[in-house]
Amino acid sequence: MKVVLTQTEGSPHFALLDDLDLPDVQIVQVSTPDELAAEIVDADVLYGFPTAALLRSGKALRWIQSPSAGVNYLQDLTELVENDIVLTNTRGAHGPSIGEHTFALLFALTRHIPASIQAQRDRYWARPELYRTSREVRGSTMGVIGFGAIGRAVAQRAKGFDMEVLAVDPHPEPGAPFVVETWGMERLPDLLQQSDVVVVAAPLTTGSYHLLDAAALAHMKPNAYLIVVSRGGIVDEDALVDALQNGKLAGAGIDVTEIEPLSPESRLWDAPNLIITPHTAGDSSEKERRCIEILRENLVRFSQGETLLNVVDKQRGY
């Protein structure tokens, strides 16, 4: 079995693969397009992001381990959707990092951290402006859109801050942990109306594209916060800017945008009460290790003909 590693995601921990007791497994790491083109021809396994060209060249491919949890590239890759290659992702690896980043964004908004940083740069003691303007999250309601591994990681931390959590998901699970209730997507308007904080933790699919448009955002409380940490494209960005400019939301924090990197001309840059981070929510050295631990476990399972972790339903896109 030949395994080709094309990504640097988790590369500091590739040594975890060195002591695999799999004598028939050959692991090859490539760093240039020419190396990849030469090695993919007879590869059984790819650790990396698939492309149409790779699929055409990799005639022997049987399994692709995606370094990411999101696999929205499937929308434009019918060659992969329609063939028998198994696709797995790193679902679960990013949950702790994104869970913490969610609250970093939320607390920056509720405690006016950007204003304090700007005042510090200006050498100005801003207590008169900021005193009595902060808010606590304790006792408030968080609504989580998408209750997979990321949504659960966010909800777990919300419970630690004494928040009540509601969730919507295409496949609601009765008795799911950390939540008061999990609803189907038809209850999204109810979740938006009842939540003081809404967190977007859903994958980007054809069904979730612009799920939060102007009409949906209008259901939110004017003193509510929106946090987006899964994928860009789920929130209509123009509608979000309009809501912030018109005082229809207290603030928003986004780690992902529909087009990345975000264009200098985007209206998002100048939106009031908006914090933007550059798709770093899932990043941590610990996450890098978890990605390789998933790959390692799946290599053992694949070599022994066992069911793999995190198999993606290519029709659904997650």
- Per-residue DSSP letters for 117-129? HHHHHTT---HHH
Is the alpha carbon torsion for 41, 47, 49, 50 positive or negative? positive
- Residue of 91, 101, 152, 231 marked catalytic: 231
DSSP 154: H
Instruction: Please check whether residue 30 is in contact with residue 39, taking contact to mean a CB–CB distance below 8 angstroms.
Output: yes
Q: How far apart are CA 220 and CA 228, in angstroms?
A: 15
- Residue of 279, 289, 296, 301 marked catalytic: 279
Instruction: Please check whether residue 305 is in contact with residue 62, taking contact to mean a CB–CB distance below 8 angstroms.
Output: no
> Which of 76, 75, 83 is closest to 64 using CA atoms?
83
Instruction: Please check whether residue 247 is in contact with residue 222, taking contact to mean a CB–CB distance below 8 angstroms.
Output: yes
Q: What are phi and psi of 167, to 5 degrees?
A: -145, 150
Residue with tokens 């659904």: 316
- Per-residue DSSP letters for 4-51? EE---TTGGGGGGGTT---TT-EEEE--SHHHHHHHGGG-SEEES---
Told to judge if 260 belongs to the known catalytic residues of this protein, a careful annotator would answer yes
> Which of 27, 96, 79, 67 is closest to 293 using CA atoms?
67
Q: Active-site residues: which are they?
A: 231, 260, 279
